[in-house]
Structure 1
Amino acid sequence: MTSDGVTTSRVVADVARELEIELPTLSSRMASSFLNQIPALQGDDAVTQLVVASTSSNLSTVIDVLQHGIPLHQISVPAAAAAHARRFAQRELPVEALLRAYRLGESQFVQWCLRLLAARSLDAAELLAAVQEITSVAARYIDQVCEHLVDIYETERRLWGQRADAARAASVRTVLGDETLDVGTAEAMIGARLRGWHVAAVAWLQSDPSDAARRVESAAQLLTEAYGRSPLTVLADDHTLWAWVSGTSRPRLDEQVLDRALVSHPDLHLALGDPGPDLAGFRSSHREALKAKAVAQMSGGTTARLTRFATVSISALLLDRLDEVRTWVGRTLGDLARDDEAMAKLRDTVRIFLQTGGSFTDAAARLHLHKNTVHYRVRKAEEIRGRPLGDGRLDVEVALVICRQLGGGVLMR
């Protein structure tokens, strides 16, 4: 028995609809596999976010093509995928890694489709026709998108390399990554003194304005005002600025000045590392600033305008072990670790209550609540947890801080 085009289109559309229902889960699973299998995608939170966004947009697009029979010549590269390719070029990451992700994604997508087809009562002809249609569309979509992405990547790489600070940016990346360099060679490469103290900063934009690079570069002036010294700066990409405030003495931050300055730059965010001496401090403070940025972006809700590594250090050091942390938080807090608004209010109340030494009066003043409300919430939290807050109090306090700083990354869904 042969399969007609109408039957094939119906079967393929049904499979696409099933995939669409699971799109958030499938996107997360696919993005995680890319990050685990492709080293060039690892270790940079900005790249990670773009991988997730690009994966989701590509999956959504190809599912729409299969579900609605959209001709591929009417499909353009998803905006998130194009942004991913440009950011890849700006950070001098290899295009081969980008293309490998697409090939891995194609393989995973086809496997998901085959499993759904296998669960259907189709005769051999119908099954073969559906498989041929899905694999053909997936392969042609990947070929088409990859061809355009290579053009986008090469164009951006050329334009980015023509910037006045392109050579310095490349040298800074080398100094940060090559542990064999001595301080003299490193100083010669970047044209800056590395003997002394350094505080690293990472500035970034959450939005996507047309003048993103100009806006993020304004962070240099803010740092100058807050530290009284001009920083060394390089653009990591058109949304991210790396900076170092350096000197013979330990740089001192005027946080009030910086807070006031950030008010006039509503889409700008800053993360600061701890001060560190010499070349080792130049590198370690930068790593800390990157981790502080990652914590800020995971916290949920409105991202903090200023995040210091010193205030999020515990959470920052746990970023690479989120699965284990989530398990520990759940064991420590019980159902108080659920990811919903009611539990968030209880966690905040308990956190402040414990920080004030278990004083209902002081906690009420900090939270702007009536003392009886604090009392009720604390008792409710103990009831939900299933044991008194004093039972493993240190663990409870640490878990509450981690929940506040890492948000949904460590909460139970």
Structure 2
Amino acid sequence: MADIALAACQANSAALVDALMRGITTDAMAPSEEVIRTTRDLARTISLDTLVSGYQVGIAYWCSRWTSAVESHCADTGVSLALRITNYGTTFLLSWLQMITNRLSVAYRDEAERLSREWSMARTEEARRILTSDAVDITTASRRLGYDLTRHHVALVVVRDGSNQAPLEATARELAGTISDARPLTLLVDSDTLWCWIPTNTEARATLAREGVICGHGRPGHGLDGFRLSHHQALEAVRVARLAGRSLPTVTHFSDIELAALCSHEPAAMRQFVTSVLGELANPSPHGQMLRGTLRSFYAENCNYRSTAARIGLHHNTIRYRLAKAGEALGRGILDRRLETEIALHLEAQLGNDADE
């Protein structure tokens, strides 16, 4: 880096000497190809603030040398002329500083963005390999990924609605921040999809207030297997959310839809199962929705009428009436085929009874 900085100093100094000798204005000057090249090289190792600070130090040195030269060579010209010469040189140098830092900031940012894209693409490809390969050295993979694979992880998958331009990186960091203060690994895999891993073992749930995205949320997992499993769960949560046509924004937690994920890989067969088990109880009307909700609560309360009444906030006789109507709609007793009925109710609640592939 010292050699690169020295080359930039020499190229800039040569340009300054030439401009001062020939009376070239800063408006007519531009960074040389060598200076642009060295700036791009420096973008790999130092920040833009450091680069600009280096130019400020350099021009301060140049102003000092100019003032010393005026003192040495203009002692007999009178104070007025010496001041004019000093002012001319320092004004020129400060104008050049403004010009060069503005131009090089653009070159620096372009190079930094290019490097960032290359780094991001390399990490994304490494993540794909880690997720699919049976031959992964966890130490080497962690170094390439810039993320410790030996720890615990919670995976998120953030997907942008095609008509929306919600910032995926900012959204993922916002989501991760609601779970843990730890720095997440974020990888933009295409224009509308971002993968994220948060180094934590917490069961806390991410929350989202930003419009225009769907987020799938996996369970915590440990090590390489946990890295893969939590990611797979997050992908499944996104798939189920899309299948259900859930409104945006939403965070779908795998723990809430695990059964739906398992049963929904063939949506047509799943819909047929729900319809055949629930019969008329699958009616999408508000009345049908009320009866299904009551029956779900009844099963959740271990088929206790009074507990169900307390859960919903109604008299137990009302619960009995509703459950009788639910049995009529089912065409059988509400305790007959209970397992299938509970599964069908769960799938209908998670996915509706008209989910498309």
Same fold (TM over 0.5): yes
The SS at the match of 1:230 is: coil
- Work out whether 1:231 is the aligned partner of 2:188: no
Q: Which has the larger Rg? A: 2
Kept in 2, the 8 Å contact 1:234–1:242? The answer is yes
Deviation of 1:338 after TM superposition, in Å, equals: 4.0
Q: Give the letter for the 2:204 counterpart.
A: D
- SS of the residue 1:218 aligns to: helix
Q: Name the CA shift for 1:337/1:232 in 2 (closer, same or farther; >3 Å).
A: same
Counterpart position of 1:32: none
Aligned to 1:168: 123
Q: Cα 1:162–1:185, aligned 2, differ >3 Å: closer, same or farther?
A: closer
Within 1, Cα distance between the matches of 2:316 and 2:274? 27
Matches within 5 A, 1:341-356: 341-356=286-301
2:150 alignment counterpart: 195
Change (3 A) 1:355 1:300: farther
- Structure 1 residue 360 displacement after superposition: 3.8
Whether contact under 8 Å (2:168, 2:193) holds in the other structure is no
Partner secondary structure for residue 155 of structure 2: strand
Letter in 2 for 1:235: L
Q: How far, CA to CA, are the matches of 1:403 and 1:254 in structure 2?
A: 26
3-state SS, counterpart of residue 306 of structure 1: strand
Alignment correspondent of 1:21:
none
CA distance in 2, matches of 1:269, 1:365: 34
In the other structure, the counterpart of 1:363 is 308
Task: Identify the residue that residue 180 of structure 1 maps to in structure 2.
Answer: 135
1:252 is matched with which residue: 183, 189, 202? 202
State TM-score, norm by structure 2: 0.59
Identify the match of residue 335 of structure 2 among 372, 390, 396.
Answer: 390
CA deviation vs aligned residue, 1:346-396 (integer Å, no higher than 9, x gap): 222211122122344443444455555433332111101100111121221
Q: Deviations over 1:179-208 (max 9, x none)?
A: 333323432432222112221111233473
Matched with 1:311 is 256
- Partners of 1:204 and 1:216 within 8 A in 2: no
Q: 1:242: which partner in 2? A: 195
Given the superposition, is the C-alpha separation of residues 269 and 368 from structure 1 closer, same or farther in structure 2, using an over 3 Å criterion? farther
Pairing of 1:10-409 with structure 2 (within 5 A): 162=117, 165-206=120-161, 208-210=163-165, 212=166, 214-215=167-168, 217-246=170-199, 251-255=201-205, 258-259=206-207, 262-263=208-209, 265-300=210-245, 302=247, 305-369=250-314, 371-409=316-354
Distance 1:312 1:393, change over 3 A: same
Count of matched residue positions in the alignment of Structure 1 and Structure 2: 243
Taking the aligned partners of 2:119 and 2:131, their CA distance within structure 1 comes to 20
| Superposed displacement of residue 268, structure 1 | 4.0
Instruction: Identify if the C-alpha distance between structure 1 residues 354 and 300 changes in structure 2 by more than 3 Å, giving closer, same or farther.
Output: farther
- Distance (Å, rounded) in 2 between the aligned partners of 1:266 and 1:368: 34
Deviation at 1:176, TM superposition (A): 1.6
Q: How far 1:168 sits from its partner (Å)?
A: 1.6
Stretches of structure 1 that go unaligned for 5 or more consecutive residues are 1-158
User: 2:30 aligns to what?
Assistant: none
